[in-house]
């Protein structure tokens, strides 16, 4: 009996130890395949080692020696761009640049880690963590400085540079000037030497400034991608595929795989600790923010301290619903400000931004929107610069009964639906107006950064719509706002931009070269899947060294598709070296996308047109009395033709009054010029009446441009350029466009260089609508 029990006891012990052994093996298996493998086989966590040592304790010799003797990966290159793995991925992504400036943070990363170990070991979030730890390891107090100066100082710093490097500079100058004896006998030696020193100093400072711009753009671009939109499903899917592709390439090549070493964080990287997650850096990236939302005030006077839910407030089922995935929506304690804001934005609407002095233009536009049967809500974003009187004018224009229409309505009424006018005396539909004060969102120390046109940047950022049309106060739409969101270019890309007049006004070629140099680098692509600029951007007018590319009177955005890029648009406002090369806000929209690695933007294919009436051929003859081949249209108004039918006039600039500068014109002076507007009787009264009345639209001309962007010289007295500015009319705002340029270049051989543009003649029906909308805008009875 005892023997049997003893045998059973041995059996139980054996079973117990077998189960224990299996548990240990299982635990090791789990550790290897779930912890070790899920940390990508070669990744050692960057988190704190909770070391009992101090980096400042010079008597802790064991620790200091261990720190100094940290193993170095044998595959680290002194210049990481020479690394064969790096080169292979650069070729794979076609990510080469002529001048490939990169963020200095990468130099620090790849000084301590081999390229292949980083790419094979770290996923996207870990790369983000590594990048920002290296920023703060180098400078614990790093923060973006909105007041950074990008100018070159030739004061004391230049004097110090000259004195410290006097001998070296003299040798360089003597070599450059072939003064081999160094005896200073060349003519004006001291003067030329002084200029040489300034030139050397300027080149060095320009290189420093460019590097500073590169660093700031990279930090901003990566922070937003890493920590603001990192939960976006489209971005997550793409970055996961990007990382998987890199690992598959490395693991599928035995030579490459053999080079990969265990990723080990450096001591400085480990010492950067920021709670559970690194990305709680909003105050350092966005010091100009107050981190309060704007105040959203409805026309009723109701104030919202949060993003309004348009679908719920308006009871409008056509407004897209608010969609927040609560499982992915982190608490306010751990979520970046703009991540929360992005998740709360909703609906579709119109956005305007203007100051008190432009309120009459805005009121005219709102009345026009009523005539266009607009049903979208309108948010007017301002910066403490809109008083109560202006608000009353806007609400009155939007909400007062509007049933008494101009006589021109009779001509268009047969073409309008039966329900065009409300059955009640209200007439045209009332508009849903919101006032958004963005000043509450800006730290008081930086409010001066958003004066003037920069108000529009705040409107782009702080309106609460997911899809929005940004409209200038002096814009006159000629079709319903809803129809703009149906343009194919917008549906394809989530943006729609319009081109300015294609004027051959050249900018300094060094400006476009600068922009290319400071744009994202091949390492941005290889590390973080940030696309480089391509010909989609480089073939635009700006990079052809022309002064104007975009007209920003109407801008369409899908916020959810381009949220990071909108943040970049605003950020460019702080970089004076870039901002100064844009005419107001015009070029910052597409530049913000391009600098963000986001070239999914669309420009209307047509440049701006001249809108009005073609000059009578008899009023514009050649010196020999014959008529020109080209047609001329002179107008203060640019208009924008739809690319979808090459005919439809979508909108015009400068309101609907013929001359938007009518209040400033010296009519006696302009009426005596005599070479334009010959159909008027030449009196000051006739000019004044014409200037104050609505623009009457019969024609449009989109002028051509020669392929070489040069003057089209000819012997036929035909225009050399598609556009010319006539300073004599409408207070210097009259532009003349020509339907063709060039002509006979050799009368003997009949050789010519004529280039044709587009001349559009509008039908009676179209002209009737233009007249009606013009009368609504002006307020004519």
770 burial level (CB within 10 Å; 0-12, 13-18, 19+): buried
What pLDDT shows up at residue 3? 41
Distance CA 78, CA 83 (A): 9
**Residues 664/777, Cβ–Cβ less than 8 Å:** no
Q: Which residues of 519-533 are buried (b: 16+ CB within 10 A; e: fewer)?
A: bbbbbbbbbbbbbbb
In this model, does residue 106 exceed pLDDT 50? yes
Q: Where are the domains of the chain?
A: 609-778
Residue 188: its pLDDT value, please?
80
pLDDT at 66 over 80: no
Mean pLDDT of all residues belonging to the chain? 88
pLDDT of residue 665: 97
Q: Which of 61-70, 210-219, 334-343, 572-581 has the lowest mean pLDDT?
A: 61-70
Please tell me the predicted confidence (pLDDT) of residue 2. 38
Check pLDDT > 50 for residue 53. yes
Q: Is the dihedral of CA 308, 309, 314, 316 positive or negative?
A: positive
More confident residue, 108 or 64: 108
DSSP 693-710: SBP--SEEEE----TTSS
Q: Give the per-residue pLDDT at 708.
A: 83
The rounded Cα 453 to chain-centroid distance in angstroms is 15
Task: Give the model confidence (pLDDT) of 626-655 as tens digits.
Answer: 999 999 999 999 999 999 999 999 999 999
Q: What is the mean pLDDT of residues 395-407?
A: 95
Average pLDDT over residues 210-221: 96
Which residues, at least 6 apart from 57, have a Cβ–Cβ distance to it below 8 Å? 63, 64
Contacts of 714 (CB under 8 A, 6+ apart): 720, 742, 743, 744, 745, 752, 753, 754
CA distances from residue 28 to 19, 23, 24, 37, 536 in whole angstroms, order as listed: 14, 9, 6, 12, 52
Q: What is the mean pLDDT of residues 483-510?
A: 96
pLDDT confidence bin for 773, thresholds 50/70/90: very high
Cβ(476)–Cβ(656) below 8 Å: yes
For range 474-479, the mean pLDDT: 98
pLDDT score, position 256: 87
What value does the mean pLDDT take over residues 576-590?
Answer: 89
pLDDT at 14 over 80: no
Reported as a pLDDT band with limits 50, 70 and 90, residue 31 is very low
SS3 readout for 295-311: EEEECCCCEECCCCCHH
Task: With a cut of 50, say whether residue 46 has pLDDT above it.
Answer: yes
**What are the structure tokens assigned to 205, written together?**
């400072």
- Count CB-CB contacts under 10 A for residue 689: 13
- For residue 22, pLDDT over 50 is answered with no
Distance CA 37, CA 459 (A): 47
167 pLDDT band (50/70/90 cuts)? confident
Is 124 a residue whose pLDDT tops 60? yes
- Choose the weakest-confidence range: 215-219, 396-400, 679-683: 679-683
């Amino acid at each position: 009996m005892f023997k049997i029990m003893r045998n059973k006891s041995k059996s139980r012990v054996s079973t117990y130890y077998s189960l224990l052994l299996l548990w240990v093996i299982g635990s090791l298996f789990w550790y290897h395949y779930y912890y070790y493998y899920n940390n990508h086989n070669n990744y050692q966590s960057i988190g704190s080692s909770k070391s009992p040592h101090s980096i400042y304790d010079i008597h802790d010799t064991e620790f200091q020696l261990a720190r100094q003797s940290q193993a170095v990966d044998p595959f680290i290159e002194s210049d990481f761009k020479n690394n064969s793995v790096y080169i292979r991925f650069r070729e794979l992504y076609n990510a080469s640049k002529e001048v490939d400036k990169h963020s200095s943070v990468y130099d620090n990363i790849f000084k301590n880690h081999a390229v292949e170990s980083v790419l094979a070991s770290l996923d996207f979030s870990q790369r983000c963590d590594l990048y920002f730890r290296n920023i703060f390891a180098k400078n614990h107090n790093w923060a973006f400085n909105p007041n950074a100066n990008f100018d070159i100082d030739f004061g004391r710093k230049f004097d110090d540079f000259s004195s410290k490097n006097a001998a070296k500079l003299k040798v360089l100058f003597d070599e450059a000037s072939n003064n081999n004896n160094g005896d200073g006998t060349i003519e004006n030696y001291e003067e030329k030497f002084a200029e040489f020193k300034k030139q050397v100093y300027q080149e060095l400072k320009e290189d420093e400034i460019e590097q500073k711009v590169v660093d700031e753009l990279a930090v901003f671009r990566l922070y937003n991608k890493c920590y603001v939109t990192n939960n976006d499903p489209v971005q997550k899917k793409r970055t996961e595929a990007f990382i998987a592709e890199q690992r598959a390439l490395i693991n599928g090549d035995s030579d490459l795989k053999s080079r990969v070493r265990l990723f080990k964080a450096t001591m400085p990287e480990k010492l950067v600790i920021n709670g559970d997650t690194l990305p709680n850096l909003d105050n350092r990236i966005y010091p100009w923010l107050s981190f309060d939302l704007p105040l959203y005030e409805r026309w009723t006077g109701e104030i919202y301290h949060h993003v309004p839910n348009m679908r719920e407030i308006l009871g409008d089922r056509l407004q897209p619903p608010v969609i927040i995935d609560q499982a992915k929506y982190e608490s306010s304690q751990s979520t970046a400000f703009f991540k929360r804001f992005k998740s709360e934005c909703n609906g579709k609407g119109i956005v305007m931004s203007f100051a008190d002095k432009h309120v009459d233009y805005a009121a005219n536009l709102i009345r026009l929107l009523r005539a266009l049967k607009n049903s979208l809500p309108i948010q007017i974003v301002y910066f403490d610069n809109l008083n109560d009187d202006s608000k009353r004018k806007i609400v009155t224009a939007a909400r007062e009964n509007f049933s008494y229409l101009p006589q021109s309505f009779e001509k268009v009424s047969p073409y309008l639906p039966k329900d065009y006018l409300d059955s009640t005396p209200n007439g045209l539909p009332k508009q849903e107006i919101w006032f958004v004060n963005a000043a509450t969102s800006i730290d008081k120390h930086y409010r001066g950064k958003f004066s003037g046109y920069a108000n529009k940047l705040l409107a782009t950022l702080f309106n609460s719509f997911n899809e929005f049309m940004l409209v200038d106060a002096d814009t006159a739409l000629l079709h319903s706002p809803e129809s703009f969101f149906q343009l194919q270019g917008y549906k394809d890309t989530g943006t729609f931009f319009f081109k300015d007049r294609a004027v051959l006004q050249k900018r300094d070629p060094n400006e476009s070269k600068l922009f290319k140099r400071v744009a994202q680098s091949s390492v941005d692509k290889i590390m973080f899947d940030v696309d480089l600029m391509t010909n989609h951007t480089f073939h635009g007018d700006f990079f052809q060294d022309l002064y104007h590319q975009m007209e920003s009177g109407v801008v369409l955005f899908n916020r959810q598709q381009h949220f990071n890029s909108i943040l970049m648009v605003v950020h460019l406002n702080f970089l004076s070296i870039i901002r100064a090369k844009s005419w107001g806000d015009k070029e910052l929209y597409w530049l913000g996308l391009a600098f963000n690695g986001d070239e999914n933007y669309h420009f209307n294919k047509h440049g701006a047109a001249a809108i009005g009436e073609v000059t009578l051929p008899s009023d514009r003859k050649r010196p020999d009395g014959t008529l020109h081949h080209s047609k001329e249209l002179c107008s203060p108004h640019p208009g924008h033709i739809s690319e979808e039918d090459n005919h439809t006039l979508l909108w015009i600039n400068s309101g609907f009054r013929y001359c938007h500068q009518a209040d400033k014109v010296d009519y006696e002076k302009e009426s005596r010029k005599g070479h334009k507007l010959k159909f008027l009787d030449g009196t000051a009264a006739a000019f004044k009446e014409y200037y104050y009345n609505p623009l009457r639209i019969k024609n449009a001309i989109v002028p051509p441009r020669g392929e070489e962007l040069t003057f089209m010289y000819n012997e036929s007295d035909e225009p050399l350029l598609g556009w010319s500015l006539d300073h004599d009319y409408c207070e210097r705002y009259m532009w003349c466009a020509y339907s063709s340029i060039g002509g006979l270049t050799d009368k003997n051989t009949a050789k010519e260089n004529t280039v044709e543009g587009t001349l559009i003649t509008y039908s009676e029906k179209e002209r009737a609508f233009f007249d009606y909308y013009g009368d609504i805008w002006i307020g004519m009875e």
